[in-house]
Structure 1
Amino acid sequence: MTRLLFAAGLVLATSPAAWAVGASSAMQAFFDANISGWIDEPVLIDAIVLQNETTARYDGPTIEAMDKAWRDELGAPASPTIDPVLTHPASDFLRARVAASGGTVTEIFVMDSVGLNVASSGMTSDYWQGDEEKFSQTFGEGAGAMHFSEIEFDESSQTYQAQISFTLTDPESGAPIGAMTVGIDAEALM
């Protein structure tokens, strides 16, 4: 509770301009020190490439139907849309990164070329991220693109967090293949 009150007070007390400059610098530094070393991990790249072979052909109605199926399965006893994402070896890799962070990283998820989840450290509230800035401002902008969110309360992780999102590329060709979002506990950025 103390952490939530601290983060909420920080959000209210910090001017938007000051927060934007300080937070962006803090998030870039966090990325450089903690995330950049594992973004080319073969288990992640291979998972995205494999899923892209299927989902690149999906049209809008197919993506919307899959996203609805995911949301309908939240909390349900059977979850045939969610289970393949959460049980994927790439998700095990992401959960290990969250655990190794000692609470600093709250969640990680990887998206394919259409914005669908490939792997996730935990449950996300939806399957399709393609309509959100974490995807449109990264994959949609090409290789090297990054997006830093504002501090917000995240329902999935139940924490105040900021998100660092960035385009993932094929290590051999440099072509964008997907995106990743890493949720960071707000206190770690102060």
Structure 2
Amino acid sequence: MTIHHRIRIAAAAIAVSLALCVAQGARAQDHVPKATAWAQKTLKGWMADPVVIDAIKAQNAKHASLAQDKIDALDKQWRAETKAGAKPLIDSVIGNPLSAYLKKKEADSKGLVTEIFVMDDKGLNVGQSDVTSDYWQGDEAKWQKTYSVGPNAIFVDKVDQDESTQKFQTQVSMSVVDPASGKVIGAVTVGLDVEMLMEM
């Protein structure tokens, strides 16, 4: 085999590898339009329910004058409670009517929804189906790319593999709008099982 032949074979192998990488990258993004369509068709309707709107508006009023140092303190308390026996802050959120509503939506999805949590106008949890690792989401893309953007904002995150279940999941987030005023009052994030999503 001549050196030129070897170079041609090597070049062909590199071209095939690059093509595979491009194809895999494209497939990895296939979940974005699917997740976006699901959010527009299903999640938007869920978020228009009075139990969602009323809970967010009530917490926005309660937290209207909440300064960043108090937000940080609450977030620190939440993180500590995730590992503690007594969980007053977590229990106050996970035990409220909005959380009960979100838990039912997750259960009714038959595995498609892996988690769902709603945030107020500061990025603090209002209700959730499962306990999150932190209380404040205001410093994360799920809140910054929805609530801070506008009423029609939808953000779909990358696909991750859950270490405990070994399943591939993504998160789709969107702004929550008050139907009466048309104003953005909060945001929601939903974890989705990617395999189930792609089969829809």
TM-score (norm 1): 0.87
Partner of 1:107: 115
> 1:38, CA displacement in angstroms?
1.4
Partner of 1:19: 28
Runs in 1 of length 4+ with deviation above 6 angstroms?
155-158
Task: Tell me whether 1:81 sits opposite 2:89 in the alignment.
Answer: yes
Match for residue 53 of structure 1 among 49, 52, 61: 61
Pairwise CA RMSD: 2.0
CA distance in 1, matches of 2:164, 2:75: 16
CA distance in 2, matches of 1:155, 1:66: 28
The more displaced of 24-33 and 67-76 is: 24-33
> 1:187, CA displacement in angstroms?
1.0
The more displaced of 29-38 and 171-180 is: 29-38
Partner of 1:68: 76
Task: Tell me whether 1:28 sits opposite 2:31 in the alignment.
Answer: no
CA distance in 2, matches of 1:109, 1:158: 22
CA distance in 1, matches of 2:159, 2:192: 9
Q: Which amino acid aligns with 1:93?
A: Y
Give deviations 1:4-33, integer Å, cap 9, x for gaps: xxxxxxxx996334432x221111222234
Task: Tell me whether 1:170 sits opposite 2:170 in the alignment.
Answer: no
Q: Which amino acid aligns with 1:169?
A: V
**Residues paired across the two proteins, number:** 178
The more displaced of 74-83 and 157-166 is: 157-166
Task: Tell me whether 1:188 sits opposite 2:178 in the alignment.
Answer: no
Q: Gapped runs of 5+ residues in structure 2? A: 1-20
Give deviations 1:99-122, integer Å, cap 9, x for gaps: 000011000000000000000001
CA distance in 2, matches of 1:29, 1:188: 14
Q: Contact between 2:142 and 2:173, CA under 8 Å: does it hold in 1?
A: yes
Q: Contact between 1:123 and 1:156, CA under 8 Å: does it hold in 2?
A: no
Task: Tell me whether 1:131 sits opposite 2:139 in the alignment.
Answer: yes
1:115 partner SS? coil
The more displaced of 54-63 and 130-139 is: 54-63
Q: Contact between 1:27 and 1:148, CA under 8 Å: does it hold in 2?
A: yes
CA distance in 1, matches of 2:45, 2:164: 25
CA distance in 2, matches of 1:177, 1:41: 13
Q: Which amino acid aligns with 1:27?
A: A
Larger Rg: 2
Partner of 2:7: none
1:81 partner SS? helix
> 1:93, CA displacement in angstroms?
0.3
Task: Tell me whether 1:40 sits opposite 2:41 in the alignment.
Answer: no
Q: Which amino acid aligns with 1:117?
A: N
